[in-house]
Amino acid sequence: MSIHLLRHALSMPPHLVARKAARVGLRLLRRHVVGRWHRARRSYAAAPDGPLARLLAPLERSALAACRETLARLAPLYLEHRFDLLGSGWVRVGHGDSHAGFGEHGYSAGPALGDGWRAALADGHWPANRAPARALLDAVDDPAYRPIDWQVDFKSGYRWSVRAWGPTVSYGHLPGIDIKVPWELARLQHLPQLALLFAIDGTPELAREVRNQILDFLGSNPPGWGVNWACAMDVAIRAANMVLARELLLAGGAVPDEVFEKAFAGAMVDHGRFVMAHLEWTGEHRGNHYLADICGLAFAAAVLPGEEAAAWRDFAAEQLAAELKRQFLADGGNFEASTAYHRLSAEMALYATALLADRLPKEYVDIVERAVDFAVAVTKPSGRAIQVGDNDSGRFFKLVPAVDGTAERVLDFTSLWAAASGLFTPAWSMPEWAAPEAAVVAALAGRRHPRTAAGADAVPEVHAGDGVARRVARVEFHLPDAAALDGLRPCFLPAFGLYIWRNDRCFLAVRCGPIGQNGQGGHAHNDQLAVELEVDGVDWVADPGTFVYTADLAERNRYRSVLAHFAPRRADMEPARLLAPFQLEDRARAQVVRASATGFVGLHHGFGLPVYRRVGVADGRVVVEDLEAGLEVTSATEVERHVVTAPGRLPPPWDGLPPFSAGYGLR
């Protein structure tokens, strides 16, 4: 049993634990039986009859050239099989390479492979898959090519076995290991970048590397086996990135060879069938995983011939429409209560809509537009998005990454509205480097849809009562230039639960709303009534992010805790229990008392008696007040006043926030 499941079990009543354990045990037993049955069978599908479809017309190189400098910095690293994912830093990921470890936890390197690497990799599979895997690896046509170790967590060094049936693969079962690391690499999101650079400058080495890495992956990871066939979401995202990489190569003038095209077609069948057999659908709590399943499936289906693929396309279009309406809220936000997961889900919805727009009524296309506007709204003047809830740095495509040098700016959401500018008109404002993303989406979609102006959503307010405050904790932020607060404009996102006041220099936000996932709270934090303030590009107070998930559950909870947020406190009490790594109760039940152009009042019930937070701007100051039991301040009210005159200098009890994490694994 994984640590994740054990923690989840400890949070539940015994009778529910027994019932759930029986269901989980039966499911795992069934998967193990299926896996044993598959050992004797070839899992590679035959390529379907008929040619693969083309999705992109030839692209004008002049429309793509703005990102050349960025991609040219990254490409040499990818050619050396070096990757920087989820806080790893740039490391080479080859067989036999040692890795630094995660914290105090490290694992021994796997065996190094010499010139006979093709035979060694193929012989590591179950016998029925050895011949087709060897044929794929033999098709790698660069004598100097050395294979990527696709099975390794290249932070901790732990390796999964390629002989484990994917749906039975364990995670969180040993300290420091993180299954997300090999999953992230196996999404192959770097390949469209190499292919786009090829489309710009035509360097044959780039096209050859994309081809060979795909063949390497397919030969090293038989369908259904190993860590990279454990999660349908990652399989679906990989399929989409393989399709986009191939499309960009062809649009750039590459001439496909028959061996690769046949292997690619068979791989798309394998990916599509796996996703259809392992759809991450649940009646109440399905979210970004299921959305990824159907969006990735749409890309695999779009290039394949035949009735099976046509049925997948119909299914993907039908389910995309249903999930757009279900997973995105009236204000454009995503229902999982996370701005980072909003970016991921909006990106998936955007690209799938570009592919399937002719099958979607306008009301569903409009949902995507609102989702893009939401992402713009939660981006601070510095260009960094506010972090609410979890951030696992997840993306659908990283076609034109936002980078400083070679370091990704995870909180820069620019590529989302750049891509959307290829689907909608007029375009959103974007820097020149991001414009090629719009060109690719425009070529994929075939036409642009007119944007529709969205009206402001009504804010549900509750009566605060007439109670007298027992105690007030007041924190005043005194800015060096009071003019930074002039002309603040309100932007309220009540369905998501975020209240923003902003101008070109300042961003002030209060979190107050649902915990997401229809009450599951899987990606929510104990951040109700938390405040964030940025002035002139500098965070005076900010949500510190997420850091990691199952690699360190103590750190997972540290970043989810109320103690990690500038939110109302009552000693070390949590306003809602951190039930399991991906579950939070909604004991706080946060509500808005008043939200206006000049301030905010909200309350929550997480500490038993009502706790109010009042936020206002006056005389060049931002004033945050926490009031116990009521809003009326009298002579009997105990008042505690703190003054903050510099960024990051919060008074007790807020002076112990964890280090800022701008993305998964970063600190």
| Mean pLDDT confidence for 643-661 | 96
Q: Where are the beta strands (DSSP E) in 573-661?
A: 591-596, 599-604, 611-618, 621-628, 638-644
Output the pLDDT for position 37: 80
- What average pLDDT does the segment 245-249 reach? 98
Architecture of domain 471-644: Distorted Sandwich (2.70)
The CA–CA distances, whole Å, from 92 to 48, 82, 193 equal: 36, 4, 18
3-class DSSP string for 73-94: HHHHHHHCCEECCCCCCCEECE
Mean pLDDT rounded to a whole number for the chain: 94
pLDDT in tens, 282-292: 988 899 999 99
pLDDT of 251 over the 60 cut: yes
Residue 579 pLDDT: 81
Conformation bin of residue 172: beta by default, left when phi > 0, alpha when psi is -120 to 50: left
- What's the alpha-carbon Rg for the chain, to the nearest Å? 25
What would the pLDDT profile of 107-136 be if each residue is shown by its tens digit?
Answer: 998 899 999 999 999 999 999 999 999 999
- Asked if residue 525 has pLDDT above 60, the reply is yes
Contact 630, 467 (CB under 8 A): yes
Q: Does residue 198 surpass a pLDDT of 90?
A: yes
pLDDT at 239 over 60: yes
Per-residue burial over 548-560, b = 16 or more CB atoms within 10 Å of its CB, e = otherwise: bbbbbbebbbebb
Report, as an integer, the average pLDDT of 355-379.
95
Give me the pLDDT at residue 33, please.
75
635 contacts 536 by C-beta, under 8 angstroms:
no
- For tokens 């035959």, the residue is 46
Q: Which of 436, 434, 389 is nearest to 413 (CA)?
A: 434
* Number of neighbouring beta carbons within 10 Å of residue 115: 9
Considering only CA atoms, which of 103, 104, 100, 139 is closest in space to residue 122? 139
pLDDT of residue 1: 43
What is d(CA 210, CA 194) in angstroms, rounded to the nearest whole number? 7
Q: b/e string for 6-33 if b means 16 or more Cβ within 10 A?
A: ebbbeebeeeeeeeeeeeeeeeeeebee
The answer to whether residue 42 scores a pLDDT higher than 70 is yes
pLDDT, one tens digit per residue, over 257-277 is 999 999 999 999 999 999 999
Strand partners, 580: 583
Q: What is the SS3 assignment for 277?
A: helix
> Angle, to 10 degrees, between the axis of helix 191-201 and the axis of helix 232-251?
10
Tokens at 614, concatenated: 């009042």
**pTM (2 d.p.):** 0.94
Q: Where are the domains of the chain?
A: 1-38, 60-108+130-278, 280-455, 471-644
Q: Which two tokens stand for residue 654?
A: 């807020």
